[in-house]
Amino acid sequence: MFASKPLASWLLLAGLVSAAAAPSTRAQAPAPAGAATKLTPDDIAHVQALRLAGKSEEAVKWLDGHAAVAGMNERAVALRGLARLDSGSVLDEDVARFRSYVGEDSYVLLLLGHVYAAPSAYRNPKLATVCYQRAATELADSVERQFGLAHAKALLEPTAQNVDAVLAFESKNDSLPPNMFARFASRAVLASATALAMKGDRGDTTLRLFAKARELAPNDPDPLRGEALTLAIQGKGDQAAPLLDDLQQRFPECMADVFYTRAVIAQLAGKSADALEAARNAYGLKSDYVAALELAAQIQYDAGNLDEVRPLLERARRYANPSERSRMLFARYFIDRAQAIPATKPDGMDDKAFATEQNKRRELLRQATEECLALRTEKTYLVENLELLLKICSIVGTELDPLAKEVTLQLGYAKKRAAKG
């Protein structure tokens, strides 16, 4: 059988970033601002001062009082929405007038930027970036707008560089409504840490970002479980253990993640039985825990229990598209099954039985090839995957010679890229 690579095998961090739908574009455009008495610059400054002082509820009451006398124009609606959003809420009534906004009021655009960057049904970081940029017409020097733009860019492209641009606003926290920095920055930091983790980067940068997200959002379990899993995969189980204890005590709904991370720690420590038990506990609590199912399949494969591998991988595929590791594990499984069938007729086997066995062998090799080629279709030219393909080609023979030539060429390129890091 193929040797496993446990440190690189199970890097999934499921569920840290939720998917969200793009906003509707069917609502009617708002009425012109002139439909009601406009707010004066002093009025706007008063509302913004209340927000900055943490008195957003007072700002909402003041705007409602203004509306009772002068009507609620689009800028007043936008400022009211901004004040409501200070508490972390996004209400449909605050944005309904602006769902298809094509105007240029900077406060409306600022509100829409916040709405599209927030974790809600409206979430769309690309639109948020556009809105923040358009809001610069009147709010070029607004720290809130600049901070929102940095946050949206970090969500749109979650890199360490972009998230560090968000964290640079920590020194300007006093120029933002209370708690805005922590709320926005924690989302950006977590998105960046998760993106790096999903790419297989479990180094110090990822660890730093998870730790920072935990500092900014102490009541959010996602940074805590992300940091614990990162430490576990780095082989620092002793450092991960107290974080897992904290996660278990404070967030009992995350118990499946606790079991999964402990499974990773046990696997890296060579305690396969403990790792398998913990993985089973994880997907026992959460039936669609794909990472735990795939980890259990890897452990069973490494132990030579091939009959247990396929049901686990097929169950995982009912809940999510196959991961790279799942495809390579399935390819190994099919190759091992194929090689267990003799390529030449054993003594005593009749021709019909031998033909049936050869058909099974060819089908298994076809399935192994399909798994490997699916990775190449996704432009995943991993050395390990290409080596599997070459092995299949050598087993099948001259029929796959054209593929073998192409794969040999790609393998050379892949090894050079791996050598360069």
pLDDT tens digit string along 164-208?
Answer: 999 999 999 999 999 999 999 999 999 999 888 877 666 788 899
**214-265 pLDDT, tens digit each:** 999 999 999 999 999 989 988 899 999 999 999 999 999 999 999 999 999 9
Mean pLDDT, the chain, whole residue set: 86
Best CA proximity match to 396, nearest among 372, 351, 363:
363
pLDDT at position 200, please? 67
Residue 149, token pair as written in the block = 């733009």
- Domain encompassing residue 402: 321-421
Question: For residue 138, is it left (φ>0), alpha (ψ between -120 and 50) or beta?
Answer: alpha
* Residue 177, in any domain of the structure: no
The structural domain count of the chain equals: 1
Nearest-angstrom CA–CA distance, 228 and 225: 5
Say if CB 150 and CB 181 are below 8 A apart.
no
Is 1 within a domain? no
Q: Is residue 365 part of a domain?
A: yes
Residue 355 within any structural domain of the chain: yes
| Banded model confidence at residue 378, pLDDT cuts 50, 70, 90 | low
Q: How does DSSP assign 353-403, residue by residue? A: HHHHHHHHHHHHHHHHHHHHHHHHHTT---HHHHHHHHHHHHHH-GGGHHH
Is position 393 within any domain?
Answer: yes
**Residue at 331 is within a domain:** yes
Residues making up the chain, counted from first to last: 421
Q: Is 310 exposed, middle or buried (0-12, 13-18, 19+ CB in 10 A)?
A: middle
User: What's the pLDDT band for 333 if we cut at 50, 70, 90?
Assistant: very high
Give the residue, 88 or 9, on which the prediction is more confident: 88
Is 344 inside any structural domain?
Answer: yes
What tens digit of pLDDT does each residue of 45-91 get?
Answer: 999 999 999 999 999 999 999 888 887 788 999 999 999 999 887 78
Q: Is residue 295 part of a domain?
A: no
Determine if residue 187 is left, alpha or beta; phi over 0 gives left, psi from -120 to 50 gives alpha, anything else beta. alpha
